[in-house]
Amino acid sequence: MDATIAGLRQPKFRPGVTTAIEPGQAVLHHGTTRCAFAFEPAEAPAVARLIDQLAAGGIALDAMIAGVPDIAEKVPALLEQFDAIRLLVDSTPHRDGLVSGAQLYREIRRIAARVTQRVARSAFHTALIEGRATRTQLIGYALEYHYIVKAAPGLIGPALATAMTARERTVLQAFLKSELGHDAFLARALETVGITPDHLEAHQPLPATFALCAALGVYARQHPLSFKAVLFLFEEAQAAFVDAFDDRCRALGLPAAFYLPLRDHADLNADYDHADISRELMALEGVVDREAAVVVKRHVALMIETMIQQEEQILHFYAEPRATIARIFEDA
Amino acid sequence: MHTDNAFTIDRPRLNAELRVGEAALLLGDRHTLVSREVPQAVLERTLRRMDGTTALDRIVADEPALPRAAADELIAALDGLGLVDDTALPAFRTGSDVILELEELVEARCETTIYRNPFWQTCLAAHAPGDLPQRLATGMVIENWHFLFRESYFDAPVLSYVPNTAVRLLLNEFFSEEYGHDEILLRSLQHVGLSYADMQDAIPLPETMALCNALAYWAHNDPLFFFATLGLLEGQGMKEDSFIEACTRVGMDDAFVGPLRTHANINIGAGHGNLTRLIFQQIPAIAASDVRRLKAQMPLFVDLYDAFYTGVWRHYTSDAPLLRRVSEL
């Protein structure tokens, strides 16, 4: 690492520093800190100028030194001394792009709407409505859905440790609690169409399904802000989709014990009002800087694209009837 | 004495001296064993066979006068008093054995996926200018940059690998050699007009991010599996990089290809392709259930990696804008 002063691009006296130029010496004060340094009479104008520059701020180090040629050689050491006794801050404003969590969420919802409009042809939904989705595809959909539900508590869990306020802890704990045990619920539904518990446990998700889980789980650990921002994508009520799913299941003669639990699970999410969880959590965020906001936006867009890919992969992979519908590679 | 949570013991080893008293067997200097239903001679023979080399099942089978229930009760009592150990081990295999089988699975899956991927087919068949479009090559470097830019996301969780010091040291050495490689690739990108600021605004393809997140997820939650992915990622057994060779054959600028070669040569020179083998050679035992999981997941990883190349091929052979930007969302 460089010397401390190197970190200050445009050094400036911190608020509260007072300066006085007396014959032969300059005196600086901040609280109980007092600093004085002597100079030759001929150097007085340069010293006064340097102090003015430091009081005003906004001048890069090189330019500051160039502005006082008479004492140029002495300036770096002097600034290092000022820095050491905590008289300097950086005057460069770092405020560009700062937003509140709630504002970032507004922008995210707009981005989500635009990305969805641009890339989202809900291929699976369309296949349901047009009566093209097959029995294998419907079961495949439930298998992939089950994988996410099964993984959910483990994905959400790490986020609990990052909750730093009582409110956030409450919200996240309630959310986690509301997700527990749903895998058993869906497992029973899948059993009615012949997916044994062993097959279900051995089932390997499609790449996009795993990508969704990995993203959520990794953001919960590595970038909680992204985790909070993407949750709404998983929890939005999709009544039209659930209706179409039920209709198609009935048309294909799949048992009600298969599709009703999926509907119940969707209703459960709607009841708990999960869809607002991102808003609630983001509103608890303080200020978000530009880079963090860019990272979150990138992650939201990618999550939507991956969700679209997941639907395409389900349709593609489960297109052909399979002897064992679950994806099991252990004998590969 | 009976304990409800007594473990089963498959291969018992009595850890106290057995002596024969007048009306009872003496175990160590504090315990006596009085036989009731089972004759004392049978009991003594049974206890003497508990030397850690014979399975309990065998001992019971050889003693018709020792009912199974009595044997179980005896073991539970001895266990409760801390007088018996179990030398049996759950099924396991050595790391160096398991990794070979995992490599075979990777190889088999690659045959039907990555080796047939249009991106690699194009690279292998490229000989003349135009065979490999610059846009596709640039795209490959962009996505590689995204990957390397995020390398700490998935390497960092295993730098603290607590279970095995030798493995931890290998990983730290590896990371220190990998660190900063995104900067090397940035030089290639700068040659084709992309700046650091452009890349800060850029969005990777979903397939690239899927790979990064999958690796980070495994690094956090399933480090053994993460280690198993490094061979394919780091070009195990590769003497050269087919992509770079293709760029060279079709006559792309040195300023573009040079940094790619620098990056590849560091990896090849440092033997990164061998890392997975070295790691697994340091792992004495992997439980059978873990082996099963590692094998079961391997096709998923190969598919995610294949999807990375498919994504590169799809996006960078299309007429979509070269960079996907956050500022344009």
Banded pLDDT at A6 (limits 50, 70, 90) = low
Please give the residue of chain A at the shortest CA–CA distance from B107. A332
Taking all residues of chain B, what is their mean pLDDT, rounded to a whole number? 92
User: CB-CB: which of A115, A214, A306 is closest to B216?
Assistant: A214
Task: Assess whether B124 and B25 both reside in one domain.
Answer: no
Q: Which of B57, B86, B115 is the last residue of a domain?
A: B86
**Alpha-carbon distance A290 to nearest alpha carbon in chain B (angstroms):** 11
Structure tokens at B5: 């949570």
Query: Is B7 inside a domain boundary?
Result: no
Interface of A with B (CB under 8 A): 111, 114-115, 154, 202, 204-205, 207-208, 210-211, 213-215, 217-218, 221-222, 291, 294, 297-299, 301-302, 305-306, 309, 328-330, 332
B39 domain residue, yes or no: yes
Closest to B290 in 3D by CA, of B227, B231, B232, B243: B227
DSSP string for residues in B170-201: HHHHHHHHHTTHHHHHHHHHHHTT--HHHHHH
- Quote the CA–CA distance of A155 and A238 in Å, as a whole number: 22
**For chains A and B, what is the number of CB pairs under 8 angstroms?**
82
Output the pTM of the full model: 0.85
B156 with B63, same domain: the answer is no
Q: Which residue among A208, A221, A309 places its CB closest to the CB of B220?
A: A221
Contact assignment for B292 to A330 by CB distance below 8 Å = yes
> Torsion angle of alpha carbons B202, B207, B211, B212, nearest 10°?
20
Asked if residue A30 lies in contact with residue A86, where contact means CB atoms within 8 angstroms, the answer is: yes
Question: Using CA atoms, how far apart are residues A303 and A108, in angstroms rounded to an integer?
Answer: 12
Each as own residue / partner, the long-range contacts of residues A46-52 (CB below 8 Å, 24 or more positions apart, any chain) are A46/A70, A46/A71, A47/A21, A47/A71, A48/A21, A50/A75, A50/A78, A51/A19, A51/A21, A51/A26
Structure tokens at A199: 């097959």
Domain shared by B138 and B286, yes or no? yes
Q: Which CATH architecture has domain A4-90?
A: Alpha-Beta Complex (3.90)
Taking each helix axis from N to C end, the angle separating A135-160 and A182-191, rounded to the nearest 10 degrees, works out to 170
State pLDDT tens for residues B29-88.
889 988 788 888 999 999 999 999 999 999 999 999 999 999 999 999 999 888 999 988
Backbone angles phi and psi of B159, in degrees to 5? -65, -25
Please name the member of B217, B299, B326 whose beta carbon is closest to the beta carbon of A294. B326
Domain end residue (candidates: B60, B86, B112): B86
At how many degrees (to 10) do helices A239-251 and A135-160 cross? Answer: 140
Q: Are residues B114 and B68 in the same domain?
A: no
Work out how many domains chain B is built from and give that number: 2
Residues B77 and B144 in one domain: no
Residue of B nearest to A209 (CA): B210
Please tell me whether residues B260 and B320 are part of one structural domain.
Answer: yes
Enter the ipTM.
Answer: 0.79
- Chain B residues whose C-beta is within 8 A of a chain A C-beta are 105, 108-109, 153, 200-201, 203-204, 206, 209-210, 213-214, 216-217, 220-221, 292, 295-300, 303-304, 307, 326, 329
Q: Where are the domains of chain A?
A: 4-90, 99-317
Two tokens at B144? 């590689």
Nearest C-alpha neighbor of B125 from the set B116, B307, B302, B261: B116
Q: Which of B216, B295, B299 sits opposite A222 (nearest CB)?
A: B216
Cβ neighbours of residue B264 closer than 8 Å, sequence gap 6 or more: B240, B241, B244
Q: Residue B89 and residue A264: Cα distance in Å, rounded?
A: 45
One domain, residues B48 and B159: no
Least Cα separation, residue A299 to chain B (angstroms)? 9
Nearest CB among A202, A298, A332 relative to B203 is that of A298
CATH superfamily membership of A99-317: Heme oxygenase-like (1.20.910.10)
| CB pair distance less than 8 Å for B209 and A294 | no
Select the residue of B109, B206, B297 nearest A305 (Cβ to Cβ): B206
User: Is B1 a member of any domain?
Assistant: no
Domain harbouring B100, CATH code? 1.20.910.10
- Residue B2 lies inside a defined structural domain of this protein: no
Residue where a domain stops, chosen among B86, B112, B136: B86
Contact A210 B299 (CB under 8 A): no
Q: Given a cut of 50, is residue A163 above it in pLDDT?
A: yes
- Identify whether the C-beta of residue A47 lies closer than 8 Å to the C-beta of residue A71: yes
Instruction: For B104-116, give the DSSP string.
Output: HHHHHHHHHTGGG
Q: Per-residue pLDDT for B3 more than 50? A: no
Tell me, what DSSP letter sits at residue B7? P
In B, which residues are within 8 Å of A221 by CB distance?
Answer: 220
- What range defines the domain where residue B56 resides? 12-86
Q: Specify whether the CB–CB gap between B75 and B56 falls below 8 A.
A: yes
Pairing of strands B31-33, B25-27: antiparallel
Interface test with A, best of B106, B221, B327, B329 (most A CBs within 10 A): B329
B97 shares a domain with B59: no
Quick one: CA dihedral A122, A124, A125, A131, positive or negative? positive
The dihedral built from the CA positions of residue B238, B239, B241 and B242, taken in this order, carries a sign that is negative
Amino acid at site B197? A
Q: What is the pLDDT of residue B155?
A: 95
pLDDT digits (tens, 9 = 90+) for A255-289: 999 999 888 877 766 665 555 799 999 999 988 98
Residue A95 is predicted with a pLDDT of 73
Select the residue of A208, A210, A301 nearest B329 (Cβ to Cβ): A301
Q: How confident is the model at residue B8 (pLDDT cuts 50, 70, 90)?
A: confident
Q: Parallel, antiparallel, or unpaired: how do β-strands A33-38 and A25-30 relate? A: antiparallel
Q: What is the mean pLDDT of chain A?
A: 89
Interface contact B217-A213, CB threshold 8 A: yes
pLDDT of A273 = 57
With a cut of 90, say whether residue B178 has pLDDT above it. Answer: no
Compute the distance between CA of residue B165 and CA of residue B200 in angstroms, rounded to an integer. 36
Is the pLDDT at A5 greater than 70? The verdict is no
pLDDT in tens, A69-125: 989 999 999 998 998 888 998 887 667 788 999 999 999 999 999 988 887 678 899
Q: Is the pLDDT of residue B129 over 70?
A: yes
In a domain, B4, yes or no: no
Domain identity same for B269 and B121 = yes
CA-CA distances (angstroms) from residue A46 to A26, A54, A68, A104, B19? 12, 12, 5, 47, 99
Using the beta-carbon criterion (under 8 Å), do A218 and B203 form an inter-chain contact? no
CB contact under 8 Å between B214 and A217, yes or no, is: no
Q: Are residues B177 and B209 in the same domain?
A: yes
Query: Is residue B6 situated within a structural domain?
Result: no
Distance CA A182, CA A138 (A): 19
Contact B184/B145 with Cβ under 8 angstroms? no
Residues B171 and B290 in one domain: yes
- Look at residue B2 in the predicted model and tell me its pLDDT: 45
Distance CA A181, CA A149 (A): 9
The number of angstroms, rounded, from the C-alpha of B264 to the middle of its chain's C-alpha atoms is 23
At residue A332, the pLDDT reads 45
- Tokens 């600086």 locate to A28
Kindly determine whether residue B217 and residue A217, on different chains, have CB atoms separated by under 8 Å. yes
Give phi and psi for B55, each to the nearest 5: -70, 145
